[in-house]
């Protein structure tokens, strides 16, 4: 399974995608700028002719506005109609727009009979600001173009005004003020660009991450389904999957996730009729396994059972479980098959043939004993841990005895199976009752199937060839010959299908398989399946390619009109989220950069202060208003940057921990930062114009004779202060936009209210002052003819209203667009979090599922970044404690009748018993116990299988067998748990427990249904300790009894017991009460 963060596009791909992503945003902003510019040109022309101004008197204005309109319209049409052309010539077109605006600004400045130092400063400020915020330039290019714009205006006016016949008296102060305004525009524009670039980059990364997580989620879902279906049939696995997900949501405790709170545990068992059950055992394998190394044993089992799985698939059989070297399957599950008996018999014959080939090729004396019976089964999963699909019924028991009562190399069937064969095979008497007492007790007639292939016996020359072939390898151990031969089958590794890898086949030996059957003439040499080193690389490339394509599709799906199209997530005009909860979360998000908004606003305030101090006739008069405003802003700055103060005064402020708390509250609490934003913005908007209210109205404006020297009058009364007050108002409007992620409604309210207030001051309360200044600039005209002489862009009152309107529209659209980007970024992050939660749920589910197949320390090898499932997993341990705990009374308790739903209710009780046993494993004291599997009503577990070295598995640091102590405690807990179940179910079940310790081999086998198991003499003896034990007792061998007694448990000698395959063994009982 792909681990989180494993796949990521390389740097070049990311840069390419980021450029495309930026192109969309830059395209939208440039289109917006072109729209505002075209609208402004149209409004200027309409106003010009609506006010009945003469085009012949202002040809430069009309000409440059008309040409600008034509050029901007052409660029707009080109950008909107041919996006491909725009993408190719994006910066060139932006330079053309900048040049057009610059030319228009100089024409406005130098045209007309009067030129002043304040001429068209707002127009150049607009150009500077839009270069940063709305034109597709890199920061370096934007700085260069903005500096060119600023410096060119100052230099040109300096030359023009100093060379004029009557240079202004306070020219230097006005040029300094212009420079300060341009500097403010540069700094604010750069601030806006940096913040938007960071937000854009973060949005891009979030988009990429969201897509990546979404793809991984799909992969996780597929792998989770494959994993679950590799252990369980689909019809059961889907039901269990939904139940597990529900439990994961309800509980955060990883160890209790599979435990339900109701009185009964879920039972995933169904009844199926008319099926055939096959049991097969490899005769002679136990003797062979005793001579195997761990690797050889696991390879042999994986190859053999992998071959059997392939045969089962070909014959429409479902493998149920592997028990040591026993293999059993069912045909007719989950869909009923009319040929179920034929399928099982055919599979049994194929298994015997496969083993025959192995025996002939290697000379190893092994064979196959197969038993088949037809009837009904209950199939499903019981317990909470280590799920294994299993079947139960009297017919299953009979099939098991058919195998044990069969003959090596033959398929042993019952009369019920024979009837379903419909004479498809010839049979002979089986006489199973002579070999198995259960068959005799049940009076079962049995038969042996005659393999049709046996009639086509091989000629003697072929036998000689085979004899010579395996004689060549007789010098090798039998296990080595077996391993090398079986490796040539090329069985898939466990969990290989989770990586979507093809089954590995030996290269250069294409003749190994013919029509899906193994050829017999394979030399006895090591045929190792070559490992493809580029698998992970190709898988990563495929993932990256798909991620890249999806990102391109996402970027292509963006458009400049998207925000105006009806969306399921946002309203088109207000941009509010349709979900109230989402809107609430957005307004409560943390703004760690809010303090920088306040810092930028304070810089604007400082610029306004410098400008007004430079142009004020009596600067000392501004002290009161600016003093109060400065105190408010300084207090706001201190609140925002309180967390940084201890750095400058570490000794004095070391104990003031509340300072950092206050600073953090500003970024995290909306009710704290909103008042600060309101106070800062209000101070700037008010201070920009408040001093105009105290400007003395010059009485000489009413005296025409006094206006003979306009320049001296303007200088003596400081009338040039008025345009700069308007420019300060424009800076105040710009200040509303520096609070990028603050409530857009609040910013729009400030913009509208401030503009209305400025309009009232210019057009109503101080209208005479502006008209007076116009009379001073154009003394030869009357109040009706001044506008005709000056034109739109030279008249103080009209010019002020035009620029306030221009900046208002620009900031409204820019604020709206910025809000759209911020909300889009929030949406992506929110989706990212949701997808992350989903993928974490899937990963937890996958882990739980896999750990229900494998122990945790083994499961880690098959998942995550360090997965090692290229090879088979196997490990030998010097000392492992193995326990078999069975409920023999359950066989008598189990009946099949209508009252108990043909045995289903009996299995429900068994499920409760096994589930309660599984719940004990959740206790920390039993963390060292690993459930291996259940076999009917027998519970198998082991301790000492953790991720430790073989030497550490023998003894802990204190020299004690702690894992044996843990296992004995667990066995005693099982006895107590069963007694509790008896009390509630009114039964009298007794446990029969056998325990042994010693060396074992652990491994994972089976590609179709991977299964963790342990093998070895210690396991066999532990099983015999159970089967030869006594109800209510824990039987152990003499070696185990000595260790257990040293751990503080009391033991009682039972005596000598005859153990099948082991002879006479002295055994002991562990007393259930601690000594």
Catalytic annotation, residues: 1024, 1060
β-partners of residue 513 are 518
Query: Rounded to whole angstroms, how far apart are CA atoms 1024 and 73?
Result: 94
With 0-12 CB in 10 A as exposed, 13-18 as middle and 19+ as buried, what is 839?
A: buried
Which contiguous run of DSSP H or E holds residue 544? helix 535-557
Which residues does 563 contact at the CB level (< 8 Å), separation at least 6?
570, 572, 575, 817, 820
Q: Print the SS3 string covering 379-415.
A: EEECCCCCCCCEEECHHHHHHHHHHHCCCCCCEEEEH
715 and 170 Cβ atoms separated by less than 8 Å: yes
In 3D space, the residue among 1042, 1034, 1027 whose CA is nearest the CA of residue 1069 turns out to be 1034
- State how far the alpha carbon of 812 is from the alpha carbons of 8, 121, 737, 749, 879, in Å: 39, 21, 9, 10, 77
Integer distance in angstroms from the first to the last C-alpha of the chain?
49
β-partners of residue 718 are none
Which residues does 411 contact at the CB level (< 8 Å), separation at least 6?
345, 348, 349, 352, 370, 371, 372, 448, 449, 451
In 3D space, the residue among 445, 276, 450 whose CA is nearest the CA of residue 373 turns out to be 276
Whose structure tokens read 């999957």?
241
Query: Rounded to whole angstroms, how far apart are CA atoms 84 and 86?
Result: 5
Separation of CA 234 from chain center: 26
β-partners of residue 1001 are 876, 1015
880 and 948 Cβ atoms separated by less than 8 Å: no
Sign (positive or negative) of CA dihedral 251, 255, 257, 263: negative
- State how far the alpha carbon of 693 is from the alpha carbons of 434, 496, 727, 828, in Å: 121, 82, 15, 48
Query: Rounded to whole angstroms, how far apart are CA atoms 1045 and 1026?
Result: 19
DSSP string computed for 99-129 = HHHHHHHHHHHHSSS---TTTTHHHHHHHHH
Angle at 131 between CA 129 and CA 133, to 5 degrees: 65
Query: Rounded to whole angstroms, how far apart are CA atoms 331 and 68?
Result: 84
Residues in the chain, overall count: 1075
In 3D space, the residue among 624, 642, 623 whose CA is nearest the CA of residue 634 turns out to be 642
Please give the sequence-ordered ranges of beta strands (E in DSSP) within 263-331, or none if there are none. 268-283, 318-323, 326-331
Which residues does 183 contact at the CB level (< 8 Å), separation at least 6?
150, 607
Query: Rounded to whole angstroms, how far apart are CA atoms 827 and 562?
Result: 15
Query: Rounded to whole angstroms, how far apart are CA atoms 403 and 367?
Result: 13
């Amino acid at each position: 399974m792909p681990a989180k963060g494993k796949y990521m596009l390389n740097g070049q791909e990311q840069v390419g995608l980021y450029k495309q992503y930026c192109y969309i945003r830059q395209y939208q902003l440039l289109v917006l700028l072109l729209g505002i510019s075209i609208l402004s040109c149209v409004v200027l022309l309409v106003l010009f002719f609506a006010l009945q101004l003469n085009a012949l008197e202002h040809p430069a204005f009309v000409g440059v506005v008309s040409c600008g309109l034509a050029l901007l319209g052409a660029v707009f049409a080109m950008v909107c109609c041919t996006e491909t052309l725009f993408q190719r010539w994006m910066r060139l077109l932006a330079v053309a727009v900048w040049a057009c605006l610059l030319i228009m600004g100089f024409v406005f400045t130098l045209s007309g009979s009067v030129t002043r130092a304040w001429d068209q400063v707002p127009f150049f400020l607009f150009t500077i600001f839009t270069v940063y915020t709305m034109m597709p330039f890199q920061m370096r290019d934007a700085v260069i173009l903005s500096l060119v714009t600023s410096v060119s205006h100052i230099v040109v006016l300096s030359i023009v005004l100093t060379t004029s016949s009557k240079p202004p008296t306070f020219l230097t102060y006005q040029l300094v003020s212009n420079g300060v305004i341009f500097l403010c525009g540069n700094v604010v524009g750069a601030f806006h660009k940096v913040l938007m670039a960071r937000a854009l980059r973060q949005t891009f990364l979030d988009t990429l991450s969201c897509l990546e997580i979404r793809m991984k989620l799909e992969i996780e879902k597929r792998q989770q389904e494959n994993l679950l279906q590799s252990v369980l049939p689909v019809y059961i696995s889907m039901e269990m999957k939904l139940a597990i997900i529900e439990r994961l949501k309800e509980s955060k405790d990883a160890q209790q996730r599979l435990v339900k709170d109701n009185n009964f545990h879920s039972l995933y068992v169904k009844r199926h009729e008319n099926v055939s059950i096959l049991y097969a055992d490899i005769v002679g394998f136990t003797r062979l396994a005793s001579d195997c190394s761990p690797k050889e044993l696991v390879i042999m089992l994986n190859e053999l059972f992998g071959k059997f799985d392939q045969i089962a698939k070909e014959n429409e059989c479902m493998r149920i479980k592997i028990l040591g070297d026993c293999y059993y399957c069912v045909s007719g599950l989950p869909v009923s098959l009319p040929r179920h008996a034929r399928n099982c018999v055919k599979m049994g014959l194929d298994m015997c043939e496969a083993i025959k080939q192995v025996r002939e090729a290697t000379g190893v004396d092994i064979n196959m004993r197969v038993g088949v019976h037809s009837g009904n089964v209950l199939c499903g999963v019981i317990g909470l841990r280590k799920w294994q699909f299993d079947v139960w019924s009297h017919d299953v028991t009979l099939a098991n005895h058919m195998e044990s009562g069969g003959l090596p190399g033959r398929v042993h069937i019952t009369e019920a199976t024979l009837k379903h064969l419909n004479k498809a095979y010839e049979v002979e008497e089986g006489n199973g009752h002579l070999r198995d007492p259960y068959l005799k007790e049940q009076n079962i007639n049995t038969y042996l199937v005659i393999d049709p292939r046996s009639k086509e016996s091989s000629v003697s020359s072929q036998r000689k060839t085979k004899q010579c072939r395996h004689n060549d390898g007789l010098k090798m151990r039998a296990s080595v010959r077996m391993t090398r031969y079986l490796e040539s089958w090329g069985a898939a590794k466990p969990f290989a299908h989770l990586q979507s890898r093809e089954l590995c086949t030996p290269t250069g030996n294409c003749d190994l398989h013919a029509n899906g059957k193994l050829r017999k003439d394979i030399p006895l040499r090591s045929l190792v399946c070559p490992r493809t080193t580029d698998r992970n690389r190709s898988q990563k490339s495929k993932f990256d390619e798909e991620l890249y394509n999806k990102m391109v599709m996402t970027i292509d799906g963006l458009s400049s009109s998207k925000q105006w199209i009806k969306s399921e997530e946002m309203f088109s005009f207000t941009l509010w989220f349709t979900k109230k909860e989402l809107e609430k979360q957005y307004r409560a998000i943390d703004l760690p950069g809010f303090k920088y908004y306040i810092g930028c606003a304070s810089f604007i305030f400082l610029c306004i202060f410098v400008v007004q101090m430079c142009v004020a006739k009596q600067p000392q008069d501004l002290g009161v208003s600016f003093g109060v405003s400065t105190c408010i802003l300084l207090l706001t700055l201190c609140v925002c940057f309180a967390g940084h103060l201890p750095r400058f005064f570490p000794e004095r402020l070391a104990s003031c921990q509340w300072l950092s708390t206050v600073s953090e509250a500003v970024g995290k609490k909306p009710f704290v930062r909103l008042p600060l934003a309101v106070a800062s913005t209000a101070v700037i908007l008010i201070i920009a114009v408040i001093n105009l209210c105290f400007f003395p109205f010059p009485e000489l404006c009413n005296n025409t004779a006094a206006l003979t020297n306009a320049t001296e009058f303007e200088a003596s009364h400081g009338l040039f202060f008025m345009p700069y007050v308007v420019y300060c108002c424009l800076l105040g409007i710009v200040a509303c936009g520096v609070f990028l992620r603050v409530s857009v409604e609040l910013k729009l309210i400030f913009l509208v209210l401030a503009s209305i207030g400025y309009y009232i001051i210019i057009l109503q309360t101080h209208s005479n002052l502006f008209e007076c200044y116009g009379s001073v600039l154009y003394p030869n005209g009357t109040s009706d003819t001044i506008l005709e002489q000056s034109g739109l862009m030279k008249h103080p009152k009209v010019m002020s209203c035009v620029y306030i309107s221009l900046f208002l529209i620009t900031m409204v659209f820019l604020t709206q667009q910025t809000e759209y980007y911020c909300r889009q970024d929030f949406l992506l992050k929110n989706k990212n979090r949701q997808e992350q939660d989903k993928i974490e749920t899937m990963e937890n589910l996958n882990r739980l599922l896999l750990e229900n197949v494998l122990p945790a320390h083994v499961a880690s090898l098959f998942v995550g970044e360090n997965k090692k499932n290229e090879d088979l997993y196997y490990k030998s341990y010097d000392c492992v404690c193995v326990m078999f705990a069975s409920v023999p009374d359950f066989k008598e308790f189990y009946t099949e009748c209508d009252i108990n739903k043909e045995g289903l209710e009996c299995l429900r009780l068994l499920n409760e018993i096994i589930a309660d046993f599984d719940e004990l494993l959740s206790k920390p004291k039993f963390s060292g116990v690993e459930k291996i599997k259940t076999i009917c009503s027998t519970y198998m577990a082991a301790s000492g299988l953790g991720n430790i070295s073989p030497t550490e598995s023998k003894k802990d640091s204190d020299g004690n067998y702690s894992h044996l102590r843990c296992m004995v405690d667990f066995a005693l807990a099982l006895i107590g748990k069963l007694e509790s179940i008896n009390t509630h179910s009114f039964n009298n079940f007794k446990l029969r427990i056998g325990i042994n310790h010693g060396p074992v081999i652990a491994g994972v086998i089976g590609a179709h249904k991977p299964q963790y198991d342990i093998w070895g003499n210690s396991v066999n003896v532990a099983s015999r300790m159970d089967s030869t034990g006594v109800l209510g007792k824990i039987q152990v061998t003499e070696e185990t009894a000595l260790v257990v007694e040293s751990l503080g448990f009391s033991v009682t000698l039972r005596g000598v017991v005859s153990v099948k395959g082991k002879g006479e063994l002295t055994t002991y009982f562990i007393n259930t009460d601690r000594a």
